[in-house]
Structure 1
Amino acid sequence: MPKLTINDQPVEVPEGMTVLQACQMAGVEVPVFCYHDRLSVAGNCRMCLVEMEKSPKPVASCAMPAGEGMVIRTNTESIQKARKGVLELLLINHPLDCPICDQGGECDLQDITMAYGPDSSRFHLNKRAVPDKNFGPLIETAMNRCIHCTRCVRFATEVAGVPELGAVYRGEHMEIGTYVEKSITSELSGNMIDLCPVGALTSKPYAFKGRPWELSHTPSIDVLDAVGSAIRIDSRGREVMRILPRLNEDVNEEWISDKARFACDGLKYQRLDRPYVKDASGRLQESTWEEAFNTIAERVRETDGSKIGALAGNLADAESMVLLKELMTSLGSPHVDAREEGSILESGHRCSYIFNTSISGIDQADFVLLIGTNPRVEAPIINARIRKNYLYNGLQVALIGEAHDLTYPYAHLGNHPQILEEILKGKHTLAKLLQDAKCPMLILGEGALSRKDGSAILHLAREIAEKYGLIHQGKGNPSDHWNGFNILHKAASRVGALDLCIVPEKDGYGTAQIIEKADQGKLEIVYLLGADEIDVGKLKKTFVIYQGHHGDKGASVADVILPASAYTEKDGTYVNTEGRVQRAFKACSAPGDAREDWKILRALSETLGLPLPYNTLEEIRARMVEINPLFEEVDVLQRAPWTSFGKSGILEDSSFKESIENFYMTDSISRHSVTMAECTRQILGRDQEKRTGTHG
């Protein structure tokens, strides 16, 4: 490990570090524009110049490897002069529009100029004019402010894997753009806004809506997919103004998907803010909570418990699902399910339904087999991790399923499940690659598990994992443990529901059966806890109670509507796809008479004469710990012991189908987002998806 001296302070750093990183380790501040920890070194802003002993001129610390015996000084008179010179040159063409710039208050150029810049300029030239570019519905551009740090270009090329940005022309005439004007098509494009050190790239939906010092900041997690990305909710009053990423090295690093970032405007539209009850003519009429509860109670009292079913949706928090299950149990109903997509995953064998490798564990893999999944749209953050491994380690990837542009090269093996049988028997060329890999992993998508032969596919995947060494159970040394069997979920509620046994009891109906029995008139009441991703057209013969926050698909067939809080308006517990227990926190109040889900269920149980024994969120969470002790520790990843699961069966002679047709509209929030509708139109090139029972 090299030892060097920084500002007369001895420092020892790992091999391969740069001088800039050594300065950061020593607690010495060095200003930067183009440098970023997760991007390649460009070395083109020259803001990080430092003095190095025996060097005739200052060196760019971001590009200089730290070496043994180096003597570095970062705050000498010549370095201060050099920094002022760099900033003076950068500001020659920079417009002085800070008062109207959306980056104001959180701008690196502003802060660094205040700390290191000159007090005047020697240049009095006309500023060059650069036309603004149209990057699509998400990113607003003001290219006059661009300082050519190329962070956006490197992010698009390296992290997002969509090399649509680059530089044209030379010298003073250089411009950053998309060559041919077009919308940026990456699902991670919004991260360029965070990376931009000036106001050249800002948020188009948030433009001129607020200033950072006006906003309240609430740490939370994203629930629009199953990754559980760490986010910060910025709100003003009762409105969510924007959502930004928080650093979490184990989950999302410092990136979030565009849906997580920009779909928040959907929280303003088509909200349910008061109860509704359907009258004799079949029209929904505004009601009070008492009237809505009494209507439900009257219907429940004249219905046998065996003819009542309940479904929990993809955005449901763990607390509300526990209360829903206990309410149905007290009514005598075994028909409760939280697997909206109809998968065959069951509670009891945790290793069979989580991402066992862990998201950060992807970095260690040397071979990945994707089965019936498209991680680029199902989990863009996980897809970025796979790409990162490919770039740094040459990760080999193979896919069984529909071919897509995954932003990294892969071997497409075909699109039918019979390939899994060939691999298991050793008759496929992939078998040798799996056998030779030291840390192989497979990722099984819900597109494969929601088929009729999903159980057989799960069984085959387990046998492949066991036969080809995807599971290493190290003795004593945790570093020897490796579990390469992974399920990639799309719904934030799914793993938590399986952990808490929110599945049908013995002789109970699952999602598909509940819908089928309701269509046949054999179920008289169906309770939808935010369940919108089902065929609601088959529920017209039954009495539907819909509890949710948007007038979405479920509300369109409801006889009683109970308005609930969205994830930004309540405290709740979720479990991400790797089995990490996480907490979302309340950032603002729900509109009108809407209430938190658990409070609605608790109040309804009182009206039904079957009061649930919980009066606070803490009491419900204590009950969750009783059901599954894993809920006692938050944000801790616990390894699931490997067990036998799955049932052998006959595979269908049909290909895998796409599980997400439109990345930008997958839930009741994003379907009502004007921004996501614009992305659907401009990026995917199709009109806004028709929404049952809603108005655009």
Structure 2
Amino acid sequence: MKQVEITIDGTKLKVPEGTTVLEAVKKLNKVVPTFCYHPKLPVFGGCRMCLVYEKRWRTNIIACATPVQDGMEIETEHPKTLEERKFVLEMLFTRHPLDCPICDKAGECDLQNWGTYYGPQKNPSSITPFDKIRPEEDWKSDYFEFVSNRCVLCLRCISVCKNVVGADALFQEERGFEILISPDRKPMDEVSSCEACGLCVDICPVGAILFKPFKFNARPWLLKETITTCGMCSVQCPVAVDHDGSKVYRIRSTADLRICAGAYLGYDIHSKNRLEGAVENGRPVDVQYAVDRISQVLSEEPSETAVIVSPYSSNETLQAVKKLQEKTGAVLTSTTTVTVEPVIDGFIQEAGIYNQPSEETVLNAEKIVVVGMDVADTNPVITYLFGNLYNEGVQISKRKNVIYIGNHPSHIKKFNPEIIRKEITQLSLEDFGFADSKTVVIYSTASLKGEDAFKIGKLLGQLNKEKGTDVLILPVEPNAVGVVNSLELEYLPAVIDRVLDGKIKNLLIFGEDIVDHIDEETLQEIFLKLDLSCVVTPFSDGLAVSSNIAVGSSIWMEEGRTTEGFAGKVHSKAVFKKFWTEKTIVEKITEKIKPSDKLPEKEKKEKNYYSREYLITPVISLWDFGYLGRRSDNLVNYRLRREIKTGVSHED
């Protein structure tokens, strides 16, 4: 790419042609104030705060919207520039209420910061505080609030909702100073196209849009911020967790603007019905007693004991389980053997190898084909790659032509896709006549199970082999790929059948994802058949009530861990540590197991994927997120309000 040479405050710099003056200035770590600009949004140029002086033109220019030109001489601190920036601030302060002591944005407010940076301001007009009042706009939401008096008219909220999320839930009413931001429909929580991702709150430079659950709860400067990786699905978005060392107050997006309702509303899972310590038949017991009891069974009855690992568990936990299995010979299985593994095996059988498409591949695609469950509901942030994307003021990806194949289109409709209603078990290669090498097919592993999942995997493998079409096999769970890559597993229905036949008498379950795959009647029969049922879970309700022994464990934000998903192999930081991790629990169980010379012989069996009537495939809504999401009052309430208002359940 052609390089352009410019001078900034006396320093010569070469940057690629097309770079904006603002981004060129940032490369030298110079301070240029902005309100309406964000590197991930299209340039708006409305706030006029990013003024810099161009010596050759002898005038101020807006840095965000002006591309560099060869020979430019820019001054960021020219007296005329400082004067005009101050004037813009003065006009904003003239209409802005001085309510910082009661504003939740205080401490992280751009207007507050720039006002402090440029010194005391004066009111250039005779407007009194009573003249500052704008009409109020009630969004009729329990989660989001708009304070019209604080709005600086940057319109970033509208832009992020339209250009990043694609929901188009916000728009501006009126013009000029009378502008109000309003949802497309009210009540917002019930009928609007809002997805509750919270990006409008995060991107607001002032306190005009608030997240009500956080309102008046804490000051930002009193909280600690930890950047980690979201553990609600397999897209692995970077998120910022604000906490005080023991309590999570909110979860926000980073500058990448990648967050959905799963993390934004679901921050409250850390405190809901947590299981501290261990219980036996509903009675609190010492954790060491529970560990000893599980170890005893694994030592004495390894051939009659099965372990069900969870795709919500970390790679560190999986490696610990692997050592446990090597020491005992216990049967290992997982729900991934009916969802993810069959699809990948079927794909490999036809295509020879499965290489997961990268983010760049998705960005460069011309067509996106979603097959089966709506990925805008199962993995919402993956759809942020379908629209017009920007980086540093430059468009890097164009809006995709989206096609949906299946019977459950939901939030994918925000892209106005071509919808082909057909049972995906009936699909053939002819149904993908439009696919080519510039097409990416995305299949959610929540769509089919067992034999049907294997068949769709074979079809997708044929598509890849014959047409060169990239296929993204996208699990719902955060570490389903890690489970498949780390362990040799027996087929889940085969293990369940042995439990029902009385051949397996003890079960150690990690997590509670099994309830999304086996019907309630069969689960009850399984627990009645077992001599000993044990569950390692973060929660005191659910399977902890049904099991003989339950041991409390951490959730994703409470442990440093590695997962494998759309972003590859990612290590995330612990926000704080309050509970034992699954890895620690497994290691303590393994330590207590007595060595045995008579381990059960491992039979190498070729996988045979088949279906069972007890396998269920629930339709997933945007606010589900598995057994973790069901512990979030925010997510549950938001989803139920939608269903009550529309009269449609996501399970229909």
Shorter-chain TM-score bucket reads: 0.7 to 0.9
CA distance in 1, matches of 2:561, 2:261: 23
Query: What one-letter code is carried by the residue in structure 2 that aligns with 1:102?
Result: D
Aligned residue number for residue 445 of structure 2: 446
Q: What SS does the aligned partner of 1:111 have?
A: helix
Q: Which residue of 2 aligns with 1:624?
A: none
Q: What are the equivalent positions in structure 2 for 1:282-293 lying under 5 Å apart? A: 284-293=282-291
Tell me the equivalent position of 2:603. none
How many Å separate the matches in 2 of 1:544 and 1:650? 26
Amino acid aligned to 2:77: N
- For the structure 1 residues 341 and 244, does the alpha-carbon distance in structure 2 shift closer, same or farther, using more than 3 Å as the test? farther
Which aligned pairs between 1:620-635 and structure 2 lie closer than 5 A?
none
Determine whether 1:597 maps to 2:582: yes
Deviations 1:188-213 (A, max 9, x none): 63111221000111222222222222
Normalising by structure 2, we get a TM-score of 0.85
**Partners of 2:18 and 2:67 within 8 A in 1:** yes
Three-state SS of the structure 1 residue aligned to 2:625 is coil
2:551 maps to a residue whose letter is L
Higher mean alpha-carbon deviation, 403-412 vs 145-154, is at 403-412
Structural mapping, 1:448-597, within 5 Å: 448-470=447-469, 484-504=470-490, 510-534=491-515, 535=518, 536-540=523-527, 541-542=529-530, 543-578=532-567, 580-590=568-578, 594-597=579-582
Structure 1 partner of 2:233:
225
Is 1:330 equivalent to 2:327 in the alignment? yes
Whether the aligned pair in 1 keeps the contact of 2:449 and 2:611 (CA below 8 Å) is: no
CA contact (8 A) 2:373 2:620 kept: no
Where does residue 602 of structure 2 map in the other structure?
none
Aligned residue identity for 1:293: V
The offset of 1:63, in angstroms, is: 2.3
Match of 1:238 among 246, 264, 267: 246
8 Å Cα contact 1:226/1:490 also seen in 2: yes
Q: Residues 171 and 602 from structure 1, CA distance in 2 versus in 1: closer, same or farther, beyond 3 angstroms?
A: closer
Distance change in 2, residues 1:327/1:460 (3 Å): same
- Once the two structures are overlaid, the 10-residue window that deviates more, 132-141 or 199-208, is 132-141
Shift in Å at residue 343 of structure 1? 4.1
In 2 relative to 1, CA 53–297 (structure 1 residues): closer, same or farther, beyond 3 Å? closer
Offset of residue 502 of structure 1: 4.6
Please give the alpha-carbon distance, in whole angstroms, between the structure 2 residues aligned to 1:501 and 1:36.
Answer: 43
Q: CA deviation at 1:277?
A: 0.9
Q: Deviations over 1:319-348 (max 9, x none)?
A: 222222332343332343251764443889
Cα displacement string for residues 591-623 of structure 1 (whole angstroms, at most 9, x for unaligned residues): xxx422122122223333249xxxxxxxxxxxx
State TM-score, norm by structure 1: 0.80
Equivalent residue for 1:261?
264
Change (3 A) 1:609 1:394: same
Provide the residue aligned with 1:58 in structure 2. 60
Q: Does 1:607 align with 2:592?
A: yes
RMSD in angstroms over aligned alpha carbons? 3.2
> Matches of 2:202 and 2:22 in 1, distance apart?
21
Q: Residue 553 and residue 520 in structure 1: after superposition, are their counterparts in 2 closer, same or farther (change >3 A)? A: farther
Code of the aligned partner of 1:130: P
Task: Give me the whole-angstrom Cα distance separating, in 1, the residues matched to 2:150 and 2:104.
Answer: 12
* Correspondence for 2:214: 206
Give the match for residue 306 of structure 2: 309
2-side partners of 1:302 and 1:109: how far apart?
67
- The residue aligned with 2:147 is 142
Unaligned stretches of 5+ residues in structure 2: 597-605
* Residue in 2 that maps onto 1:411: 418
**Residue deviations 1:613-648 (CA, integer Å, cap 9, x gap):** xxxxxxxxxxxxxxxxxxxxxxxxxxxxxxxxx999
Q: 2:599 aligns to what?
A: none
Q: 1:670 aligns with which of 623, 629, 652?
A: 629
Amino acid at match of 1:537: Q
Deviation at 1:545, TM superposition (A): 0.3
| Structure 1 residue ranges without an equivalent (≥5) | 248-252, 279-283, 471-483, 505-509, 612-645, 691-696
Q: Distance in 2 between matches of 1:11 and 1:606?
A: 61
2 CA distance for matches of 1:687 and 1:166?
23
The Cα shift of 1:376 comes to 0.8
1:444-472, Cα deviation, whole Å (9 max, x unpaired):
221344253211211111111110123xx
- Alpha-carbon distance in 2 for matches of 1:524, 1:650: 23
Larger displacement relative to structure 2 (356-365 or 196-205)? 356-365
After superposition, the C-alpha distances for 1:324-379 in whole angstroms (9 at most, x for unaligned) are: 23323433323432517644438896998977111233112223322223121122
Q: Which amino acid aligns with 2:226?
A: T
Gap change, CA 1:388 and 1:526, over 3 Å in 2: farther
Deviates more, 1:679-688 or 1:92-101: 679-688
* Counterpart amino acid of residue 410 in structure 2: H
Q: Give the C-alpha shift of residue 658 in structure 1.
A: 7.3
Q: 1:295 to 1:357 in 2, by over 3 A?
A: closer
Deviation at 1:301, TM superposition (A): 5.6
1:82 aligns with 2:80: no
Describe the SS at the equivalent of 1:69: coil
The 5 A counterparts of 1:378-417 are: 378-388=378-388, 392-402=397-407, 403-406=409-412, 407-417=414-424
1:300–1:12: structure 2 CA closer, same or farther, 3 Å change rule? closer
Task: Report the Cα offset of residue 397 of structure 1.
Answer: 2.7
- Label 1:355 to 1:665 Cα distance change in 2 as closer, same or farther (>3 A): farther
- Residues 1:380 and 1:347: Cα distance change in structure 2 (over 3 Å): closer
Query: Structure 1 residue 106: deviation in Å?
Result: 1.0
Task: Report the Cα offset of residue 396 of structure 1.
Answer: 2.6
TM-superposition CA deviations, 1:304-327 (whole Å, max 9, x none): x33211111232111222222332
1:328 and 1:336 in contact (8 A); partners too: no
Q: Could you tell which deviates more after superposition, 221-230 or 493-502?
A: 493-502
CA distance in 2, matches of 1:75, 1:651: 70
The alpha-carbon distance between structure 1 residues 577 and 16, as it changes in their structure 2 partners (threshold 3 A), is: closer
Deviates more, 1:404-413 or 1:93-102: 404-413
Q: Is the 8 A contact 2:115 2:121 kept in 1?
A: no
Find the counterpart in structure 1 of residue 435 from structure 2: 434
